[in-house]
């Protein structure tokens, strides 16, 4: 999938990946696609929930253990 920005949260556990996404969204333009790389298996459901609450768009995810890759649009 095409993306504009990448955020590496590998090695961080909940809730840090979501906190990092929230911080990153402050620095990128509206409509940008952010690729989030994580090792925390909860990232997929956590980001789905976060996007629903904040009106961001959850696009897709890939699991390539030990990595979880999630794409979201600001």
In tens, the pLDDT along 8-33 reads: 999 999 899 999 999 999 999 999 99
> At the top level of CATH, which class does the domain 5-73 belong to?
alpha beta
pLDDT digits (tens, 9 = 90+) for 38-71: 999 999 999 999 999 999 999 999 999 999 999 9
∠ CA 54-65-2 to the nearest 5 degrees?
A: 50
The pLDDT assigned to 42 comes to 94
The pLDDT assigned to 62 comes to 97
> Which of 74, 66, 3, 1 shows the shortest CA–CA distance to 38?
66
The pLDDT assigned to 58 comes to 98
**Catalytically annotated residues:** 14
The pLDDT assigned to 69 comes to 98
DSSP percent split of the chain into helix, strand, coil, nearest 5: 30, 35, 35
> Which of 41, 38, 1 shows the shortest CA–CA distance to 19?
38
Confidence bin at 6 (pLDDT 50/70/90):
very high
∠ CA 67-72-74 to the nearest 5 degrees?
A: 145
Q: Where are the domains of the chain?
A: 5-73
């Amino acid at each position: 999938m095409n993306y504009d920005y990448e955020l590496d949260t590998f090695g961080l556990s909940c809730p840090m990946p979501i906190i990092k996404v929230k911080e990153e969204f402050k620095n990128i333009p509206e409509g940008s696609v952010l690729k989030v790389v994580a090792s925390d298996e909860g990232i997929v459901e956590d980001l789905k929930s976060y996007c629903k609450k904040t009106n961001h768009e959850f696009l897709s995810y890939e699991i390539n253990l030990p990595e979880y890759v999630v794409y979201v649009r600001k």
